Amino acid sequence: MIREVLRMGDPRLVQVSRLVETFDTPDLHALIEDMRETMQHLNGAGLAAPQIGVLLRVVIFGVHANPRYPDAEEVPDTVLINPVLDPIGDEIEDGWEGCLSVPGLRGVVPRFRRLRYSGFDARGERIERTVEGFHARVVQHECDHLDGILYPMRIRDFSQFGFTDVLFPGQEVQDD
Ligand code: NI
């Protein structure tokens, strides 16, 4: 079922979400299916459970090759539950981000360039990956939602924050 995505200003978006304690349950699978449908419907790169009002530590993300976005790096479709992020090194990279909870806007956000992340899939199987660049950025953005952090709260240079259609006139930009 396509769910309503909460927008910035909703108090649920700034809460800290709870750990998932039981895996492979009908409720958990139904939540993930709703998140997937909602993300696809809105053409997003990722979605966190609190964005649909469920305060559990569940995120999904994935970016595919798309001729409309020839420069976008691919990210595998992933369900990540109870994630733990460990930055590798201290290299920070600036990059543009958007968010389905902050529609119509984009901003430049500093993120760790490389990190290792771990967590579980819906059945409770462990996931562990070392990633960098856009993949690392997407994971950091989505996992921030679980701690009640929206990307505008990470912006350092507000001269690089604005409306997508003004910043990138005539360009199609991935929503997320
Ligand atoms: Ni977001």
One-letter amino acid for residue 171 of the chain: Q
The rounded Å distance from CA 103 to ligand 1 centre is: 10
Is 37 a catalytic site residue?
Answer: no
Candidate list 4, 33, 97, 142, residue with the active-site label? 142
The rounded Å distance from CA 8 to ligand 1 centre is: 10
Residues contacting residue 44 through CB under 8 Å, at least 6 positions apart: 38, 100, 175, 176
Low-confidence ranges of the chain (pLDDT < 70): 68-69, 174-176
How high is the pLDDT of residue 53? 98
Domain range annotation of the chain: 11-167
User: Tokens 């009002």 map to which residue?
Assistant: 53
Q: Residue 80: is it exposed, middle or buried by C-beta count within 10 angstroms (0-12/13-18/19+)? A: buried
User: Using alpha carbons only, what angle is made at residue 50 by residues 13 and 172, rounded to the nearest 5 degrees?
Assistant: 85
8 A C-beta contact, residue 75 and residue 61: yes
pTM for the model stands at 0.95
How high is the pLDDT of residue 71? 75
How high is the pLDDT of residue 176? 66
At the fourth CATH level, the homologous superfamily of domain 11-167 is Peptide deformylase (3.90.45.10)
One-letter amino acid for residue 121 of the chain: D
How high is the pLDDT of residue 170? 87
Q: Rounded to an integer, what distance in angstroms lies between the CA atom of residue 86 and that of residue 81? A: 15
The rounded Å distance from CA 40 to ligand 1 centre is: 14
User: Using alpha carbons only, what angle is made at residue 80 by residues 67 and 3, rounded to the nearest 5 degrees?
Assistant: 70
Phi-psi region of 148 (alpha: psi -120 to 50; beta: other; left: phi over 0): left
CB atoms within 10 A of CB 66: 12
The rounded Å distance from CA 165 to ligand 1 centre is: 18
The rounded Å distance from CA 88 to ligand 1 centre is: 23
The rounded Å distance from CA 100 to ligand 1 centre is: 6
